[in-house]
Amino acid sequence: MRSVTAILSAASLVVVAALAPHTGEAQAPFELNIGSLAPDNTPWRDMLVQLEKHVEKGSNGQLNVILRPPGLMAEVEMVRETRKGERLQGAGVTTAAIAEGGNVPQLQLVELPFLFKSYEEADHLLDHVLFDEFSSVLNRRGFVLGMWSENGWRGFGSKGKPIRKAEDLVGLKMRSQESAVHMAMWRAFGANAVQKPTTEILTSLQSNVIDGLDNTALYTLAGGLAEPLDYFTLSRHIYQPAAVVFSRTWYSKLPEAFQKLLLEPKDLYTEPARKAIRAEDAQMISMFPDMGMEVVELTDAERAAFEAKGLAVHESFAATVEGGPELLKKIKDALAAYRAK
């Protein structure tokens, strides 16, 4: 955790060097720079390392993969740079970041609060209902969808008092991801949302610019955010997918064999990565008390009250997105059918 914090604080000193063109005596003819906020020794980073090995081995070293260190830029900026295909040609980021940075508002619908009830139905929707549809949408916006991954279930981290009901959030300055659907959620809960990129969360907590945040247990600990927090509420209010995307412009210039190679990990790594992320998330929760954080479990009644406010956002938010009502209906119909099995 300390090493990640050090990387983030020193990022401004290494941006130029880290993003400089890769050089070497035997430089590969093709280069794939991938941006991500995933810290080292996390399942997300491990998945990207496996992708790197797979691509370099399959291309006989002709496609060189470079995993850029976290903290060089915020997720939304990574997405924008990936679309250009110059400094970055790929990114492993949350769907909220792709929606915002890539101008894909439809993607925000999968992050509506209390949309999913389980990991299994999220997997079903993403893999079997929405993959092809979002592949087409992203392609029109300048991206190639490599594979889904996940950030996971988000909970509330807070200072001073625990969050058990929406009323506890009223008046608090809560960090919001740079995402319209997240801002809509905070408004529904009555919080004062403060948009901050991930790279600014720690200093904002330490300086009382914000009173709390929502994120996964895994990133809260691995990203060095646990120390200023007193409580972590297992609200599971948003299941947040993530994805690996590539620049369409860059991808279109690759040999066909390399294009296929980049899409193969969809089947090779998505499932193992999800299992690893979920197992480690649970482990992080068990470590919170040792970090001085109290873990707050909601009662059924408390969770139901939160859920009612979250569900109220669905229709109104979907109406702000082009094709949103139709897509939301498709999502909810697919979930209803899955739950009926």
88 with 21: CB under 8 angstroms?
A: no
Residue 6: predicted pLDDT: 37
The token duo for 337 is: 């059918």
User: What are the pLDDT digits (tens) for 233-256?
Assistant: 999 999 999 999 999 999 999 999
Question: DSSP string spanning 83-119?
Answer: HHTSS-SEEEEEHHHHHHHTT-GGGGGGG-TT--SSH
Our count of domains for the chain comes to 1
- Which domain does 229 fall in, by range? 2-339
Cα–Cα distance between 235 and 240 in angstroms, integer? 13
User: What are the pLDDT digits (tens) for 198-234?
Assistant: 889 999 999 999 999 999 999 999 889 999 999 999 9
Position 118 pLDDT exceeds 80: yes
89 with 254: CB under 8 angstroms?
A: no
Residues 9-30 have a mean pLDDT of 47
Instruction: Answer whether 0.75 is exceeded by the pTM.
Output: yes
Question: DSSP string spanning 33-60?
Answer: EEEE-PPTTSHHHHHHHHHHHHHHHHTT
Position 39 pLDDT exceeds 60: yes
What CATH number did the domain enclosing 320 receive?
Answer: 3.40.190.170
Cα–Cα distance between 79 and 56 in angstroms, integer? 23
In the predicted model, what is the mean pLDDT of the chain?
Answer: 90
Q: Please state, for a pLDDT cut of 70, what percent of the chain lies above it.
A: 92
Position 2 pLDDT exceeds 50: no
Calculate the CA dihedral of residues 44, 1, 21, 46 and round it to 10 degrees.
-20
